[in-house]
Structure 1
Amino acid sequence: MVLEDENVASVGRPWSNLATHVLELISSQLSPSDRPHFALTCKHWNSAVGPTYPADICPLLLNCPRWGSNVIRYYSPYFNKNFELDCPFDLSGATLCSSSNRWVMLGWENKIMLADPITGISHEVPLEEVILFSQYGFFWDPTTSKFQIFGISNGGYEDVDIGIFDGESWFWSTYESGLPFFLSSHSNPVLCRGNFYCLGSGGELGVYNLEEDTWTVLMTKPNKFSYEECYLLESEGELFSVLIGKYGLPLHVLRLDECEMMWEKVEKLEGRNLFLGSLTSVSSNSTTLESMENKVFFPRFHGDVEVIRAEVKYSSGRAFFVPKMNGENKRKDESNICWYSLADDKFHLKYFVSKKYVNSIWIDPIVASD
């Protein structure tokens, strides 16, 4: 009997029966891409593996629930969750002005800062002797890590003040077009094939040619459409405008016909989805996400979104939101983001009764750093 007991003791507990807290500790040290393989070992191991959420599936809504708290959230329309991260810099008194890729442009009364909330890298932009523009377009090139800022304000009935920051210094001047132009308050300037485009409140299109240093107003008014809000965005080298009526309806998606320089209505987004409602609007290719295809998303919600305390980790060339161990997650009632389907020609939930995220801006999906 003694010999049998010793043999049993030498065998020990089977791997499949390891304590749950031990498995959780092991899985927390694995890379996000290795966790699914770990979970396939057996049912017990699978139950101990926490979820991971790819951050590169679709655009994200960066939102700041409490200014001054140094906490930011990334809402994923695909997972319908808010991932809350610690912010590496002070956000007190800041305004979200623009975004490009995963970078954001933050504005204070006396300074502008370009920042990557994931890495904590930031660049302060000098404002000495420069007027404060009413709208900014911020453009960051991930291939060169260079950035450019385009600022514009109405100087008069037919005048605009335009400034360009090339990463080192500002250049600005006043331009006259001979035509009235008043900036839309809903949409930042966009960069398309080397030109900066600005949407007027009446649907006009202002174009600044950097190479020729010229400002032109194109009378491309969509007169046959009535609307209260208008947004401008670039997608795969094309310009789109989205017009929204009072209380969200009607909604029209227009593409610029550059041959005729007129807006034409679009019935299908051809594998795209659009993300509007903040100063920066973005688009993405949705051919791999049929559930999101041919839809327009807004930073408006019905109910409260679940909040998960997380951090961003990289694995196998991808970025993931990984929940923190012992993080204080905030489960809310079932919530849904407000979106419009071009296929059905309607909102899936009422636009005008939804709650808008005020301190928010759309950013591109988070991809792994080089």
Structure 2
Amino acid sequence: MQEPDWSSLPVDLLEDIVDLLPWSSRPRFAAVCKHWRSAVLPFYPAWLTPVLLNAADVGSTNVRGRHLTLCQRTDWEITVAHIDLVTGAICDLYPLERCSFDFVVYDGERRMFGIKAVGVLEVARAIRCDCGGWYPWEFSELSPDEPKLTASPATSPVLHRGLLYLLGIDGRLAVYDDRQHERGLVVLDKPGGFGPDRDCDDCYLFESDEGELRAVLVGRRGTPVRVVRLDEQEMEWEVESLGGRAVFTGTPATLMVETGVEWMRNRIFVPRLHSWPETIHADLVERGGELAFVPASAAAAARDGGAGEKGIWSCGLEPQQSSEFWETIEFFHGVWVNFRN
């Protein structure tokens, strides 16, 4: 008789061992043999690609890091809250009566900004006090004589190097400096636009992984046409390559991420409203500092419901690819969340 070897360990014992391993070690564990693989249940690493969070009917949203900030209207008041998307902890601000914001931004520390972008630009600031609460909102002064800016309705303001930038549909920018709160948003004369050949439906401002301000220009009938970078010395928009990165856009939160997946490089990903994959209910679970989505039931895990790129569409920057994506509809009631860090 042969003595039992490692490949014949009971499945329940293997499952106990797997539960002690970080998510990134499980594929190597499963590669040992078929028997070991049977002890590794399906999971979806949260660090591979950003997650599209459904934010329909919750008002203005903004994501910074792992925190979601939202501004929601009820029958008689406005409530602002920020949520830790990993722990589920919710911190509500006090209700704000008789006012609404088009955008709300949280700096992740002690500052919350509410922006009114229709008509005269206005900024409200709330500061967290040492006891954990918030001081009352401070509103900037209204300046009806200031230059007007028609804000892009599909992109949230971006905090960049301590300043808050709001993008106009013509490529101009409005800038807010928290140190000069009373001035509010100041509309810049430059950059003057996205170029003479501009022909796009929507534009999305974001800060790249290299710390630069960039914008995605979405062309007519839903086709992304190009990515531009702001030259902050000359204050001009320049057409820029993705440099092997992937861009996730089409919602108020646009992200640029490095990727080791070959087919995702130099591509733009936008959610769509048709051909969605089957929904799998999953829990966000942290193990050893890593996050993964674990299907709530074994039956759901056994079905191939969320793999692949069926629920999003992508395209490169080549013009000849544009005809493939005419049926796409933007999905503004969502927000990309990057759990990589």
Same-fold call, TM cutoff 0.5: yes
Structure index of larger Rg: 1
Establish whether residue 99 from structure 1 lines up as the match of residue 69 from structure 2: no
Match of 1:120 among 74, 84, 88: 88
Within 5 Å, which residues of 2 pair with 1:73-84? none
Instruction: For residue 305 of structure 1, report the CA deviation from its aligned partner.
Output: 1.8
With over 3 angstroms needed to count, the CA separation of the structure-2 counterparts of 1:234 and 1:42, relative to structure 1, is closer
Cα-to-partner distance string for 1:275-310 (whole Å, 9 max, x where unaligned): 111112222223x33332222111226522243333
| Correspondence for 1:174 | 141
User: SS at the partner of 2:324?
Assistant: coil
Establish whether residue 216 from structure 1 lines up as the match of residue 186 from structure 2: yes
Instruction: For residue 46 of structure 1, report the CA deviation from its aligned partner.
Output: 1.9
Within 5 Å, which residues of 2 pair with 1:11-90? 16-17=7-8, 22=12, 25-26=15-16, 29-31=19-21, 32-33=23-24, 35-36=26-27, 38-63=29-54
Match of 1:239 among 209, 213, 225: 213
Counterparts of 1:203 and 1:40, CA distance in 2 = 51
Counterparts of 2:62 and 2:255, CA distance in 1 = 11
Give unmatched runs, 5+ long, in structure 1: 1-7, 68-92, 141-145
Which amino acid in the other structure matches residue 151 of structure 1?
G
Counterparts of 1:17 and 1:348, CA distance in 2 = 54
Establish whether residue 351 from structure 1 lines up as the match of residue 325 from structure 2: yes
Counterparts of 1:320 and 1:180, CA distance in 2 = 45
With over 3 angstroms needed to count, the CA separation of the structure-2 counterparts of 1:271 and 1:97, relative to structure 1, is same
Cα-to-partner distance string for 1:51-94 (whole Å, 9 max, x where unaligned): 33321223221126xx7xxxxxxxxxxxxxxxxxxxxxxxxx63
**Structure with the bigger percentage of strand:** 1
Establish whether residue 295 from structure 1 lines up as the match of residue 270 from structure 2: no
Q: Does structure 1 retain, via aligned residues, the 8 Å contact 2:250–2:331?
A: no
Within 5 Å, which residues of 2 pair with 1:187-202? 187-202=155-170
Counterparts of 1:361 and 1:147, CA distance in 2 = 22
Match of 1:337 among 288, 297, 312: 312
Match of 1:163 among 120, 124, 129: 124
Which amino acid in the other structure matches residue 216 of structure 1?
V
| Correspondence for 1:318 | 290
Q: Does structure 2 retain, via aligned residues, the 8 Å contact 1:301–1:354?
A: yes
| Correspondence for 1:71 | none
Instruction: For residue 115 of structure 1, report the CA deviation from its aligned partner.
Output: 0.5
Which amino acid in the other structure matches residue 141 of structure 2?
T
TM-score, length-normalised on structure 2? 0.81
Which amino acid in the other structure matches residue 35 of structure 1?
R
With over 3 angstroms needed to count, the CA separation of the structure-2 counterparts of 1:313 and 1:249, relative to structure 1, is closer
Q: Does structure 2 retain, via aligned residues, the 8 Å contact 1:278–1:362?
A: yes
Give unmatched runs, 5+ long, in structure 2: 129-133
Counterparts of 1:207 and 1:311, CA distance in 2 = 39
Cα-to-partner distance string for 1:130-155 (whole Å, 9 max, x where unaligned): 73111222332xxxxx1432222146
| Correspondence for 2:131 | none
Instruction: For residue 245 of structure 1, report the CA deviation from its aligned partner.
Output: 2.0
With over 3 angstroms needed to count, the CA separation of the structure-2 counterparts of 1:253 and 1:331, relative to structure 1, is same
Establish whether residue 273 from structure 1 lines up as the match of residue 273 from structure 2: no
Match of 1:153 among 84, 92, 116: 116
Q: Give the length in aligned residue pairs.
A: 320
Counterparts of 2:62 and 2:320, CA distance in 1 = 29
Which amino acid in the other structure matches residue 191 of structure 1?
L
Q: Does structure 2 retain, via aligned residues, the 8 Å contact 1:27–1:38?
A: no
User: SS at the partner of 1:278?
Assistant: coil
Within 5 Å, which residues of 2 pair with 1:243-258? 243-249=217-223, 251-258=225-232
With over 3 angstroms needed to count, the CA separation of the structure-2 counterparts of 1:51 and 1:147, relative to structure 1, is farther
